[in-house]
Structure formats: structure tokens, C-alpha cells
Amino acid sequence: MDEDGPKDRNDSKVFKIIKTVFMVLAPTVMGIYLELIGPTMQELMNRVDANYEEISQALVARSVGYLLGSLISGFLADRFKGHLELLLSIAMLLGATGTMLSPWCTVLGLLAVMFLIQGLGQGMIDTSNNTLCLLMWGAVASAPIHALHFGFGIGAFIAPLLARPFIGDNNTSNSTDDDTQDSPIEIPYSISAVLCIAWFTIFLVFYIHTRLSKKSSEVQTEKLQIEYGGRGNYLDVIRIQCLGQLCRYIYISHQGRSCYHVCLKLPVCLSANMPGQSINSL
């Protein structure tokens, strides 16, 4: 038993480190799909036939989505702490949906809806990721949390490098409609969406693993209870302790033969489940 304890603790620590690495990479993926809008903005404007002012108004929907996603996931994370990995999976799925469909939008309003969905995923990722990191590492969570925010910067750095080969030199304000259609920005958006789906699967696996681990620990607890007399055994211990304290109190307060008489009958009353019977009736 002593040999298994350190091994289990080491395995648990290794699993936490691996899980934290994927949690750090989640903001990296988020940084990629959020920052693709910068290098591909002109192409998106051409596809929805909008100017900078109109596309800026559509981008406000992402901030609104971020606010809503933070509020919703904050409430859910506080209410269901054991399902944070599932919230991260849903957030990644939202990010994949908004990113995959954005370059296919031909109407500004529909593009704004995609930005809103991206913002929802962003807010849910930030809130759930930070909460899960705090629950996992506790007092030593400062370094992992800094790593989470550092991951977003890495993703923001990768995004223009990912989009640059697919933009070309035709993506200018003076390009004709035929030229702008030659920029295949669907490819970097699709790559980013595939990464989101990959992390959706990873966090879903983490969620299933966590739920199975909790169930196995509950089964082990039940086996230990059965082995050592079950739940009733703990109740018997509590009854014995209460009985001892009552007898001690009665002995101090009512020394003599009456005390001895009461202490003899009190265990019989407790074992017979007679809580309503008072000491005076004995």
C-alpha cells in the first residue's frame, strides 16, 4: 500500500502537467483564430461588400460575445466545477464553428454572427481555463496562469504567418472582384478550425477521464466502507462517542446509585432507537 501511494501521486502530477500543457496551447489556438481577422480583413470586406467602418461595427459583436461568454461560463463554472473540461470542449467547438464559416459569409450581418460566436468561445475559454487551472494547482497556480496568457501571444504571432501565404499580392483596395476571389483565405481559417476541433476532442477526452476517475474513486470508497463495516459502522462509532459523553456528564452531575442506574439503561434506549425518551423517564 505504501509503494502504490507515491506512484499514484507521481502519476497524478504527470497527468496534471500534461493537462496543463494542453490548457496552455488552448489560448494559442484561440489566438490564431481570433487574430486571422487582421491580415485577412480586406478580403473579408470584399466578400461582404463592406468598408472599414462597417466591418468595425461587425467586430463589436465579438466583444459582446466575449462578455456574454464570460458571464455564462463564469456562472456554469461556479455551479458545475466538475464539468470545466466539458465547458472548454464546447468553447472550442464554438470557436471552430465561427472560424470555419467566416470566410464563406457574403452578408455583413452573417459575418457579425460568426464574430459573436467566436467571442462566446473566447469568453468561455478564458473563464473555464483560468478556473480549471486554479482548481488543479491551488496555491502554486500563478506560473500556470501566466503560461495560459502567454499562449495567446504565441497564437497571435502565428496567425499572420499562417495567413500570409494564402493572401498574395492581390489583396489590395484597388483589386477587382475577380482578383480578390483568387485569395484562398478559406485555407488558413479551415486550418485554425481543425485545430479547434482537435482541442475540442482533447478536452472531451480529459472530461471523460476525469469522470471515470471520480467514479472509480467512489467505488473504492464504497469497498472500503464495506470492508470496515459499511456506513453503519461510522454511525455506531458516533453513537458510542455520544454515549460516552452523556455518561460522563451524568456521572459528574448526578453521582451515586441513580447515576449508575441511568447509565445501565441508556445504552438499551439508544440501541432500541428511542430518541424521544428522556433521562427523567428512566
175 and 227 fall within a common domain:
no
- Do 272 and 139 share a structural domain? no
The residue out of 214, 230, 261 marking a domain boundary is 214
pLDDT value for 263: 43
Which residues constitute the domain of residue 112?
4-214
Percent of the chain having pLDDT more than 90? 54
Q: Is the pLDDT of residue 70 over 90?
A: yes
Q: Please tell me whether residues 128 and 57 are part of one structural domain.
A: yes
| pLDDT greater than 70 at residue 204 | yes
pLDDT at 277 over 50: no
Decide if pLDDT at 272 tops 60: no
The arithmetic mean of pLDDT across residues 69-81, rounded, is 88
**Same domain membership, residue 147 and residue 52:** yes
Statement to judge: residues 187 and 207 lie in one domain: yes
Q: Does residue 145 sit in the same domain as residue 209? A: yes
Using CB atoms within 10 Å of the CB of residue 219, give its burial: 0 to 12 exposed, 13 to 18 middle, 19+ buried: exposed
Residues 17 and 146 both lie in one domain: yes
pTM: 0.70
Q: End of a domain among 180, 197, 214?
A: 214
Residue ending a domain, among 172, 192, 214, is 214
**Do 44 and 84 belong together in one domain?**
yes
DSSP 36: T
**b/e sequence 40-66, b meaning 16+ C-beta within 10 Å:** bebbbbbbbebeeeebeebeebbeebb
148 in Cβ contact with 129 (< 8 Å): yes
**238 and 166 within one domain:** no
Q: Decide: 196 and 33 in contact? Cβ < 8 Å.
A: yes
Mean pLDDT confidence for 30-44 = 93
